[in-house]
Structure 1
Amino acid sequence: MTTAHNQAKKGQIAETILLPGDPLRAKFIAENFLEDVVEFNSVRNMLGYTGKYKGKEVSVMGTGMGMPSMGIYSYELIHFYGVKNLIRVGSCGSYQDDVKIHDIILAQGACTNSNFASQYELPGTFSAIASFELLEKAKKIADDKNYKVRVGNILSSDIFYNDHPEVWKKWADIGVLGVEMEAYALYANAAKAGVNALTILTVSDSLVSQEATTPKERETTFTKMMEIALELA
């Protein structure tokens, strides 16, 4: 079985998968954390690998940027490849003064300015939340490793270059910790299918302080969140 976006055959992808936006981060995780690695996808250079972490089978695959891209890959992984636990490992921008560069966020929920959930024709607003099972485990793993994490709400935005550059302050004012572009679609797809999803983010830049990491740092140095995610396998 293959799809238009994934050349993997049935059985080549583990039930637990890590989903970085950057396919090069997927390659980094596979090369530095997994054993007996097999590449299962290179379509559109959206690299995917399956290997073993501490004896347990786990996969990792890039998803690209934005909810349309995450929506495609996560849907196919769930419905065509039987994935049960989908863990986004991504970067985000901080909206809060006390959420610093390299801090880790466990996204309990995702706000959005996207119309992604309109497909469900719900008579209201869908609140996209993480799997409590994965969230609880991730927090315990972080605590055991003495990794400080923040648990809370983030924004999944369709817009990177906003015509109103100060609008982020409205989200900050209501307690949103930071912004990324994929979690809402992941949580919605997982909820509809009855599987588990969690988003773990490392702060790559701050809209408050204007600090930022380099692309190479985002690819190769956000290892603490990778370790937390891999321990969930």
Structure 2
Amino acid sequence: MSTPHIQAEPGQIASTVLMPGDPLRAKYIAEHFLEHPVQVNSVRNMLGYTGKYNGKDVTVMGSGMGMPSIGIYSYELYNFYGVDTIIRIGSAGGLAPELELMDLVVGVAASTDSNYATQFNMPGIIAPTADFDLAMNAVSLCDELGVRVMAGNILSSDIFYNDQKDALLRWKSMGILAVEMEAAALYLNAARAGKKALCLLTISDKPLEGSGLSSQDRETGFTQMMKVALELVQ
């Protein structure tokens, strides 16, 4: 049975879903990496496709921008479609000085300025974290493929244009590697559902330095991330 946001029928979505923020990137992955992809969702143009990669079923579907959006889609996938694993593949702004453009980051944990976790009414502050095996395997795959990678704490922010001009510097001072906008909600939904999640990021810009990738560099860098994520599919 379909949901308000996903039109797929039971059995049309694989147990592992790769989620780029941009639905057109999901379309790109389906067309360039999957065998016999079938479109399973187009509601609100949030494109989703299911096919095979190295003989294994996998779905790729956009998540949209921000925690409210990925919160909806990941909740429905985990709870209504029996999805076991969601791997977010997105872009991020690098904060750690060691990071270079096109490097990959494995989000071991996701700090946040969001109130998304308040819905769970915890008696303290919960730390949203990735599945350990997925994170460890992602780092190992990067090493095997010769891809530069760092693993650690990232920031999932609700704010793209922050009125507090020193906000990113303060996060950087606490060892945050990079900033993006979705992982914390994904990790919290996975924890609540007893499922698995991982956030893989490509450094597309360095906001504290004002540098960023060209469109050609983005295509190359994101392709590396796509290959790592697809190799994680069980």
TM-score range, shorter chain: over 0.9
Q: Distance in 2 between matches of 1:139 and 1:102?
A: 15
Q: CA deviation at 1:117?
A: 0.5
The equivalent residue for 1:121 is 121
Identity of matched residues, %: 55
Tell me the residue number matched to 1:142: 142
Bigger drift between 120-129 and 134-143 goes to 134-143
CA shift, 1:146, in A, is 1.6
Corresponding residue for residue 87 of structure 1: 87
State the Cα distance separating 1:19 from its structure 2 match: 0.4
Residues 179-218 of structure 1 correspond to what in structure 2 (within 5 A)?
179-214=179-214, 218=218
- Bigger mean CA deviation after superposition, 192-201 or 140-149: 140-149
In 1: Cα distance, 2:33 partner to 2:206 partner:
28
Please state how far the C-alpha of 1:32 moved relative to its aligned partner.
0.7
Equivalent position SS for 1:129: coil
Displacement of 1:208 after TM fit?
Answer: 2.7
DSSP 3-state at the match of 2:211: coil
**Alignment TM-score, normalising by the size of structure 2:** 0.96
Residues 107 and 198 in structure 1, CA contact (< 8 A), matched pair in contact too: yes
- Please state whether the residue corresponding to 2:230 is helix, strand or coil: helix
Cα deviation, residue 71, structure 1 = 0.3
- Tell me the distance in 1 between the aligned counterparts of 2:219 and 2:22: 7
User: 1:49 maps to which residue?
Assistant: 49
Matched with 2:160 is 160
CA distance in 2, matches of 1:95, 1:139: 19
Question: Where do 5+ consecutive residues of structure 2 fail to align?
Answer: none
Structure 1 residue 142: Cα displacement: 1.3
Q: What is the TM-score with the length of structure 1 in the denominator?
A: 0.97
Q: Pick closer, same or farther for the CA change 1:63–1:218 going to 2, 3 Å.
A: farther
- 1:192-216 CA distances to partner (integer Å, 9 max, x unpaired)? 1111100000001102321112467
Q: 4+ residue runs of structure 1 moved beyond 6 angstroms? A: none
Matched, 1:109 2:109: yes
For the residue of structure 2 that corresponds to 1:60, the secondary structure is strand
- Work out whether 1:231 is the aligned partner of 2:227: no
Distance, in Å, in 2 between the alignment partners of 1:228 and 1:216 is 19
CA RMSD of aligned residues (A): 1.2
Report the counterpart of residue 62 of structure 2 in structure 1. Answer: 62
Quick one: distance in 2 between partners of 1:184 and 1:216? 29
Contact 1:111/1:184 (8 A) holds in 2: yes
Letter aligned with residue 104 of structure 1? L
- Determine if contact 1:22/1:219 at 8 Å carries over to the other structure: no
Offset, 1:16: 0.5
Give the aligned residue type for 2:26: A
Q: Report if aligned partners of 1:94, 1:177 keep a CA contact under 8 Å in 2.
A: yes
Q: Tell whether 2:77 aligns with 1:77.
A: yes
Uncovered stretches (5+) of structure 1, i.e. residues with no partner: none
Quote the offset at 1:103 in angstroms. 0.7
CA distance in 2, matches of 1:195, 1:214: 36
Displacement of 1:165: 2.0
Shift of 1:167: 1.2
State whether residues 16 and 84 of structure 2, in contact with CA within 8 Å, keep that contact through their aligned partners in structure 1.
yes
The equivalent of 1:14 in structure 2 is 14
Count residues in correspondence. 233
Aligned to 1:172: 172
Residue pair 2:23, 2:47 contacting (<8 A) in 1 also: yes
